[in-house]
Structures are given as C-alpha cells and as structure tokens.
Amino acid sequence: MNIYLQELKMKLRSIITWSISVAGLLFLFFSIFSTIVDEMEMLNAVMANYPPELLAAFGWDNMDLSTVLGFYAFTFSFIQIMISLQAANYGYSLVSIEERELTADFLLAKPVGRAKILTNKLLAALTGLLITDLVLWSTSFFAVRTYAGDRAYNSEILAKVLITAFFLQLFFLGGGLVISLLLKKVPSVIAISLGSVFGMYILAAFGSSFNEDKFDYLTPFKHFEATKIVNTGEFDQPKMVISILVIIISMIASYVLYQRRNIPTV
Amino acid sequence: MNIFLRELKANSRSLFFWCLFIVFFIYMGISKFSAFTAVDSDIMAMLEGIPPVVLEGLQLNAFNLTTITGYYGVMQSYFALMAAIFAVLLGNGIIAKEERDKTVEFSLTLPIPRHKLITGKVAAALVNCAIFVLVMWGGSIVAAQPYQPDEAFYQFLGMLMLSSFFIELIFLTIGVLLGAAMKEYKRSGSVAVFILFGTFIFSILSALSEDLEFLKYFSPFVYFDPLKLLNESKFDPGYLAISAAICIISLGLAYFSYAKRDLYI
Amino acid sequence: MPIIEIQNLSKYYGKARGIIDVSLNVEEGEIFGFIGPNGAGKSTTIRLLLSLIYPTSGSARVFGKDVIKHGPEIRQEIGYLPSEVFYYDKMKVIDLLNYSASFYNKDCSQRIKELAKIMELDLKRRIDDLSYGNKKKVGIVQGLLHSPKLIILDEPTAGLDPLMQQRFFDMIQNENEKGATVFFSSHILSEVQRLCNRVAIIREGKIVTLEDIKTLQKNNYKKIAVVGDGLDQARFQINGVTNLHQVDGEIKFFFKGDINQVVQLVSAQPVSDILIEEPTLEEIFMHYYA
C-alpha cells in the first residue's frame, strides 16, 4: 500500500497534465465542429456522386465528419495518440526509472517481494490511466452534448468507442513495461515511448491512406479504430482479441522477467 | 572536435535503426503503390471534380495516387512526421542525456567552455539529421526507379527532402533549447513531446477550420505543405523566414541559457 | 546458527567475472569486515545477499533462510547502506525516511529523530538539494531506523568528514553491542581494523583469506627492520621471508614462521638496531595483493 501511494503521489502532476491536455484537445476539436459541419455535408453530397470503389480506395467511405460520432471518431484518433503516449510512458518508466535514478537499491532492499512491488506500481499506473480515462469519458459526453446541438447521435456507440481507450492504454502500458524489462540498461524513456506510439500510429495511418490491411494486426490503433466502431456499431472483435492477448502476455511476462531481473549496479 | 566525434559514435546505433526503419517504410510503401497504378485512370480523373477547398479541409490529399509524384506527395506527411520525431528526440537527448546519465560532472569539467560542448553536440546532431534525410532521399529514388520518373519528379522529390531537412532543423533546435534551458531533464523531454504533438494537431486544426487557420503559423508541418510545393514548385519565402527565425532564436537561447545555468547531478 | 552463510557462490555477468566460488560464514554478533580493492567483487556479494541480482551458481542464506526464496522476510531485519545513495527527487528527507519506515512492522518515528540528531541531519530539507555527504547521512539513518539485526554496509564512510565518521562508527558499535551483526565492506583498512572481529579479503572475485583480525595481525606475520653497516641482504633469503628489500643500511622484510630462525640470522650480523613489530592490516593487505 505504501508503495502504491508513493507511486501515485509521484505521478500526480503527470496525471493532471495529461488529463487536462486530453480534455483540452477534445474541446479544441469540438469547438470547430459546428463551423465546419456544413462544409462537410457539402462534401458528402459531392462524394455521393462518386463510385464506391473509388471512395473505398481512399478510405473516404468510412470517414464522415458531418455526423457527431463521425467527427468524434476523427477527434478520438488523436486522443488515442495522447493516452497511448501516457500509457507507454508509465509502462516504460515503471521499473526502469528506479534503475536510472539509482533508487532501485533502496526499494529492493526493503522487506517486500518483487511481485508485490510490481503489483503496487502497476496498480498506481492503472489508477493514473483510469483517472485520465474518467476525465476523457466525462468531457467527451459533455463536449458531444454541448456541441452537437440538435444533431442525433447514439450514446451507446460513443460509450463503446470510449471504453476502447482503456484497452489501448493497457496495450502500451504492458508493452512498455516488457520492453523496459527485456533491456539490460534502459535508454531514454521518451525516445522509446514516442518512437513506439508514433511508429504504431504511422503504420495505422499509412494503412488507412493506402488501404493497406497488412499492418492491421500489428498496430493497436487498428484494433480499436473508432471510425470502424462508429460505422458498424460494433467492436472489431477478432482484432481486439489480439490486443487483449498482447496485454495478458505482456503482464505475465513482466512478472516473470522482473522476478528474475538482475538490478544493474550503481 | 573530440566531442563531435564522440557524439557521432554514441548516436550511430540509434541512427542506424532509424535508417533501417525508413528504408523498410519506403519499401513497404512502394510495394503498395504498385497496386495503385493498376487503378483505372478514368476513376482518377473524376477526383479532379472535387472542390479542392473541401479536400484540403478534410486533409485528404489532392495528389493523384496513380502517379509516382502523387504517391510521394502523400508519403511526405509520414516522412515529415518521422523526421520531426527523430530530430526532436535527438536534439533534446543529446543535451539532456548528460544529466540523465549523471555524466555532466565529467563533461562539464572538461577544459572547454560550455558553448563548445553545445557546438560539438549540435554539429554531430546536424550530421545525423543530414544522413537521415539522405537515406530517405536515396531510398526514395531507388524505390521510384521501376516507374520511370521524369525530371519534374526528381525536382519535386528534392524539394520534399529539403522540407524534411528543414523540419528536422526546426525540431532539432527546439529540442536542443529545451534540453539546454530546462532544469529538469525529465520535464524537458515531456515538453518536447508536447510541442511535437501540439504542432502536429495544429496542422490538422488549421486545415480544418478557418477560425483556427492562424494556427498554421505555429506548425512547421504546414510550412512545407507538399501540395503547395507541387503546385508552386518553390518554397514559401515567408515560411522559410519563420523557420530560420525559429532555428536561430532557439539555438541562440540554448547557448545563452546553457552557459548560465546550474547543473545538477 | 550463522547469520550469513554463503556457499560456493558464483556470479558471472555474461562472461565477465563477478565473484567465483565464494564461501563464508558470519556469526551472530560479530562485525565482519569484507575488504578488497575496487572491482574485487565486494558489491556483487552484497547485492547477491540482498537478492538484487541472482547467482550463477551456489547459494546464500541469511538468518538460516535462502536469500532468494525468503528475500522479503529476511530483509525485514536487514539494514542496508549502499555505497552511493540517490533518492527520489522532490522528496523531503523526512518523507523519504517515513516512506522507508513504512516498510517495517514497527514504529520507527522516535528512532528517526534520535538518529537524525546524532548525524545532525536536517529532516526538512529536500533530498535533491543535499550534498553528497548529507545524502550519505540520509542513507545511514534510512539503513538503521528499523533497528535491524543485520547491518550491511557497502563502503559506508566515503563522503563523511572525520567527525561524522567517528560518530558513525560509534553508532555501528553501539548497534553491535545491542546485538546487531554487521557486514562491513570497505577498501579502507584502518576502519576495518578498528571495528571488525574477523575479515575476509577478496581479490579478483575470490576469497584470498578469511581470518580473525587478531590472528591476521599477530600470529602470522612480523614486520622486521634491521639496521647496520655492511648487512648482506642475500643472507636473509630464507623460508618464510617475503617482501625483502634494502634501503641504504636498512633491511626490511615480513616474516612468517619460527622467530628463532630470524634471531639467529640477526645475531650473526653486525646489527646496530632492530625493530620487530606487528604489520598493519594495510601492509598485510598489500602483501596479499603483491
């Protein structure tokens, strides 16, 4: 419990910063929704004249910024980057920060098992991510309600999109943690988290612009693609399972690796 | 000179992996492109009927994806993003790592003034950025060969690569400034990420809404819009001036603040 | 029951040597010195005891329990002071100490105050702003605040001024008198000599010798200096003589064996002065590394 509280305390500023940024981004996007929505409707009218093959080839068939949820899905794709960055940061630095700051000796010489240390740390990180999620969830509903005007939207689907946020975070939390434990000495935290998150994002975005589905299995951004959920109203279950497997495996592997880890000498 | 060489060596591994990733990315892209050339050109012709304002608003591209030029126009957004990430991490890390790894005690007690330390590091980072772009350039040219590119393509590609280099310079100097000026190295990294992500978001918002169009001045990604480069075949002098100003001011401030600040171990 | 039992413990970092086949016992209530130069394997041994790293082969037991299987339980009664102390930034000294105390099943608040007073440590300052020596003090208080049964010190005195060193030693001796066992690693021999009952000398990962400090000093070696005109160095080349050297009219050497041999040798020489004394640990140490 003491480790959990201490970890949470140390993360507090970061949690607040991320939460505010996520909320800010959401409002920033939605503040322009009403001004561009007419333009988008015009675009839809134009696009309706084109053959569906063409639209599909460019991925325009599934992006509709003139509906509330379509626009939300678009916004959410950027929110995803942010929350992933936060999660990757937490995951990657969870134990590596102790070694970098040379505090591992302090903590590990205490009468607690490593599994317990890791559990406490993980719980603290999860709490941080959940707080960000809560902020995201509440501001999302608020922003959508405020800016939607009299446009209709399905809040159940919105909830479905929002819930994926947590899975995406778990993916990067677990992934970051495992990477940090696979390395003997850990290089810079931001380099790894930024690299992996944007790497995955680029793969996903690239896949979208060129209608390439080879990487869909690789990148979690495709496992929880908001546009797809909005269009179909359903989760992309087979791909979600991949992510969930990755999460489970990475968590188990982390415990095993941490248990056996040789702490580098000061 | 010794600092320059040491930094080059220290960064060579990471540079190598980045280059590997770019080459892989280009290869991946071009193999996808080959499928596009098969798309019926009649359909592509219809594209031109869409009002460009709308396309721009959607941040979808008006590049004709069935031509190699159009393809690289689309790829540029990814190239630029990768170059920016590479540069901001490099710039920030090359300064901040000394504190992170507790080596400041060593490097700052060397018999050289601090500005020389920065000069050596920045020079090494510049070489890294240049190599990054050259690999991207070379890889692109090789990948384009099967599609018999014309002279205009090479010119366009050259401009794209120069854009990437300019974007690198901007983010590199911002990264260096953050690393040199901020007391806490951990925070300087986070701030670098925020700036990168913020400018990326700005580039999207500025295209999306006229009310937020002014944001384009804050986003280097907009300065070198590939579509504009294709249509006008020259860099926008205004944006070039802004870019140069950002680089010079950042670097100047970096020298200034690093020379004065306290370093903690 | 020995407090620490190390059996054939080896640790390799990849191919690089950490320690090789180290075996030793530390008995309850003793102050055990562990000496060797930098890189000999002192820290590796300590880190193995704390299960910060895992052995390549062999085993170690503390309080009769395997260090890997019962790590947390054992560490409840261990106080550890690492050679370099770094703590979470943005924490005040008292926050860190309270955090540290929260791991042990006892109330340590009184003890923190006592120890901080002895070490003249300002509890309200932020750890980032502390000097190296002051951080070290935080480490000492942190290591002792739960009155551990086993105190492990890894080159503890570096960074402390002589006055603080003295207080630190007094504290350690005090703890020892109250029943704590101390495992004291150092490369500074005079402090080991001052405190310890037994010492192990480690060199290039292997234990070179393990002896009672008095045996090590007294029973083994004599440091002999002979002064006289026309002394013949070659005549002192007998069994048991080491480190023989001559400076002008003075011959110096270490001797281990029957002292009568030396007395006879000396009496046959034109000697003007003779000095036989106990070698310092320093000299014994140099001898082992010669």
pLDDT in tens, C125-157: 888 788 888 888 888 888 888 888 899 988 888
Residue A108's nearest CA partner among C72, B121, C237 is C72
Instruction: Read off the DSSP letter of residue C218.
Output: I
Spell out which residues of chain C touch residue A103, defining contact as CB-CB under 8 Å.
Answer: 86-88
Search chain A and give the residue with CA nearest C97: A106
Torsion angle of C-alpha atoms A144, A148, A154, A159, degrees rounded to 10: 0
Q: How far apart are the first and last CA of chain B?
A: 25
- Per CB-CB distance under 8 Å, the chain C contacts of A109 are 50, 52, 75, 78, 80, 82
Domain extent listing, chain B: 2-54+61-260
CB contact under 8 A, C78 and A109: yes
Interface touch A110/C103, C-beta < 8 Å: yes
**C186 touches C278 (CB < 8 A):** no
Nearest alpha-carbon partner for A209 in B211, B72, B116: B72
Q: Where in chain C is the domain with CATH 3.30.70?
A: 221-289
Contact A51 B43 (CB under 8 A): yes
- Which regions of C248-287 does DSSP assign to beta strands (E)? 250-255, 273-277
**In this predicted complex, what is the ipTM?**
0.79
Query: Which subunits count as partners of chain C given 3+ CB pairs below 8 Å?
Result: A
Residue B65: list chain A partners with CB under 8 A. 58
User: Residues of A numbered 125-144 whose beta carbons fall under 8 angstroms of chain B's beta carbons: which are they?
Assistant: none
Torsion of CA B57, B60, B65, B67, to 10 degrees: 40
pLDDT at res. C287: 67
In B, minimum Cα distance to A64 occurs at B58
What does the pLDDT read at residue A84? 93
Q: Is the dihedral of CA C238, C243, C248, C251 positive or negative?
A: negative
Scanning the structure block, which residue is given the tokens 């029943």? C179
- Residue C266 CB coordination number (10 Å): 18
Separation CA C47–CA C62 (nearest Å): 13
B59 band by pLDDT with thresholds 50, 70 and 90: very low
Beta-carbon pairs below 8 A across chains A and B: 100
- A5-12: which pairs have CB atoms within 8 A and are 24 or more residues apart? A5/A124, A6/C88, A6/C99, A7/A120, A7/A121, A7/A124, A7/A125, A8/A124, A8/A127, A8/A128, A10/C88, A10/C90, A11/A90, A11/A124, A11/A125, A11/A128
| Long-range contacts (CB closer than 8 Å, 24 or more residues apart) made by B136-143 | B136/B22, B136/B26, B136/B79, B136/B83, B136/B161, B136/B164, B137/B161, B139/B22, B139/B23, B139/B26, B139/B27, B140/B26, B140/B72, B140/B75, B143/B26, B143/B27, B143/B29, B143/B30
- Of A65 and B126, the structure prediction assigns the larger pLDDT to B126
| Confidence at residue A54, expressed as pLDDT on a 0 to 100 scale | 52
Residue A48 confidence (pLDDT): 64
Q: Nearest 5 degrees, angle CA B91-CA B95-CA B100?
A: 120
Structure tokens at B32: 């996808």
Per-residue model confidence (pLDDT) at position B68: 79
Rounded distance between C-alpha atoms, residue B259 and residue B180, angstroms: 9
Class of domain C221-289: alpha beta
Contacts of A25 in chain B (CB under 8 A): 201
Residue of A33, A36, A63, A190 best to disrupt the B interface, most CBs of B under 10 A: A190
Q: What phi, psi does A32 have (nearest 5°)?
A: -100, 0
Supply the CATH classification number for the domain C4-216.
Answer: 3.40.50.300
- Is the CB of B189 inside 8 Å of chain A's CB atoms? yes
Q: Of A174, A197, A142, which is closest to residue A258 (Cα–Cα)?
A: A174
Closest residue on chain A to B192 (Cα):
A190
Q: Which residues in chain B are closer than 8 Å to A202, comparing Cβ atoms?
A: 25, 78, 81-82
Which residue in the set C52, C54, C102 is minimally distant from A108, CB to CB? C52
B46, B81, B210 ranked by CB distance to A198: nearest: B81
Nearest residue in A to B212, CA atom: A32
Pairing label, strands C65-66, C78-81:
unpaired
Please tell me the least confidently modeled range out of A58-72, B145-159, B182-196, C117-131: A58-72
Of A14, A28, A63, the CB nearest to B205: A28
Closest by Cβ to A260, choosing from C43, C54, C88: C54
Burial pattern B187-203, b for ≥16 Cβ within 10 A else e, equals ebbbbbbebbbebbbbb
Kindly determine whether residue B39 and residue A209, on different chains, have CB atoms separated by under 8 Å: no
Mapping DSSP onto H, E and C, the string for chain A reads: CHHHHHHHHHHHHHHHHHHHHHHHHHHHHHHCHHHHHHHHHHHHHHHCCCCHHHHHHCCCCCCCCCCHHHHHHHHHHHHHHHHHHHHHHHHHHHHHHHHHCCCHHHHHCCCCCHHHHHHHHHHHHHHHHHHHHHHHHHHHHHHHHHHHCCCCCCHHHHHHHHHHHHHHHHHHHHHHHHHHHHCCCCCCHHHHHHHHHHHHHHHHHHHHHCCCCHHHHCCHHHHCCHHHHHHHCCCCHHHHHHHHHHHHHHHHHHHHHHHHCCCCCC
Closest alpha carbon to B122 in B111, B134, B130: B130
What distance in Å separates residue B226's CA from the closest CA in chain A?
A: 16
A218 touches chain B (CB under 8 A): no
Check if B100 contacts A (Cβ < 8 Å).
yes
Six token digits for residue C163: 């006055």
- Say which residue, B10 or C278, is predicted with more confidence: B10
Distance from CA of A263 to the nearest CA of C (A): 5
- Is pLDDT of B6 > 70? yes
Set of chain C residues whose Cβ sits within 8 Å of the Cβ of A116: 72
Overall average pLDDT of the B185-213 stretch: 83
Facing residue for B85 by CB, picked from A39, A40, A194? A194
Please give the helix or strand (H or E) that residue B150 lies within, else none: none
Which residues of chain A make contact with B97, given a CB cutoff of 8 A? Answer: 188
Cβ distance of A112 and C72 shorter than 8 Å: yes
User: Is some CB atom of chain A closer than 8 A to the CB atom of B193?
Assistant: yes
Closest CA to C33 of C173, C175, C156, C200: C200
pLDDT-flagged residues of chain C (< 70): 86-87, 89, 216-220, 280-282, 284-290
What gap in Å lies between CA B235 and CA B231, rounded to an integer? Answer: 11
Neighbours of C285 (CB within 10 A): 24
- pTM for the full model? 0.80
- Residue A210 to residue B51, Cβ atoms within 8 A: no
CB nearest B60 (choices: A60, A190, A195): A60
- CA–CA separation, B135 and C85 (whole Å): 45
| Mean pLDDT comparison of A176-180, A260-264, B225-229, highest-scoring range | A176-180
The pLDDT score that the predictor gives to residue A210 is: 65
Quick one: pLDDT at residue A118? 93
Contacts of B54 in chain A (CB under 8 A): 39, 42-43, 46
Smallest Cα distance from C85 to chain A, Å: 8
Which residue does chain A place closest to C91, by CA atoms? A10
Residue in chain C lying closest to A266 (CA): C84
Residues A163, A177 contacting (CB under 8 angstroms)? no
Chain A partners within 8 Å of C47 (Cβ): 263, 265
Distance from C-alpha of A167 to C-alpha of A21, rounded to nearest angstrom = 20
Q: In the predicted model, is pLDDT for residue B61 greater than 50?
A: no
Partners of C12 in the beta sheet?
C17
Task: Provide the shortest C-alpha distance from residue A182 to chain B (in Å).
Answer: 17
Asked whether residue B263 carries a pLDDT value surpassing 60, the answer given is yes
Q: Could you give the CA distance from residue A125 to residue B20 in angstroms, rounded to a whole number?
A: 33
Note whether C237 and C286 are within 8 A (CB): no
Q: Which residues of B touch A206 (CB under 8 A)?
A: 25, 28-29, 78
Residue C256 CB neighbours (<10 A): 14
Calculate the average pLDDT of chain B.
Answer: 82
Distance from CA of C54 to the nearest CA of A (A): 6
Q: pLDDT digit string (tens) for A89-142?
A: 999 988 888 887 778 888 888 888 889 999 999 999 999 999 999 999 999 989
CA of A191, closest CA in chain B: separation in Å? 6
B89 touches chain A (CB under 8 A): yes
Supply the pLDDT for residue A23.
Answer: 93
* Residues B18 and A36 sit within 8 Å (Cβ to Cβ): no
Task: Please name the residues between 140 and 179 in chain A that touch chain B, using a CB distance below 8 Å.
Answer: none
Q: Give the whole-angstrom CA distance, residue B247 versus residue C29.
A: 66
pLDDT of residue B116: 84
List chains adjacent to chain B, taking adjacency as at least 3 C-beta pairs closer than 8 Å. Answer: A
| Interface contact flag, A189 B32, Cβ < 8 Å | no
Contacts of A248 (CB under 8 A, 6+ apart): none
Of B111 and C211, the structure prediction assigns the larger pLDDT to C211
Q: Which amino acid is at C190?
A: S
Name the nearest CA neighbour of C149 among C123, C181, C189.
C181
* φ/ψ (deg, to 5) at B222: -85, -30
Q: pLDDT for A203-260, tens place per residue?
A: 887 777 666 677 778 888 888 888 888 888 888 888 888 889 999 999 999 999 998 8
| Residue C209 exposed, middle or buried by CB count within 10 Å (0-12, 13-18, 19+) | middle
**Nearest chain C residue (CA) to A261:** C53
User: B239 with B223: CB under 8 angstroms?
Assistant: yes
pLDDT at B41 over 60: no
Q: Is A189 within 8 Å of chain B by CB?
A: yes
Residues of A with CB under 8 A from a CB of C: 2, 6, 10, 101-106, 108-114, 116, 260, 262-263, 265-266
Q: Which of A14, A43, A55, A80 to mutate to test the interface with B (most CBs of B within 10 A)?
A: A43
Distance between CA atoms of A26 and A15, rounded to whole angstroms?
17
Contact B50 A32 (CB under 8 A): no
Least confident among A67-71, B53-57, C273-277: B53-57
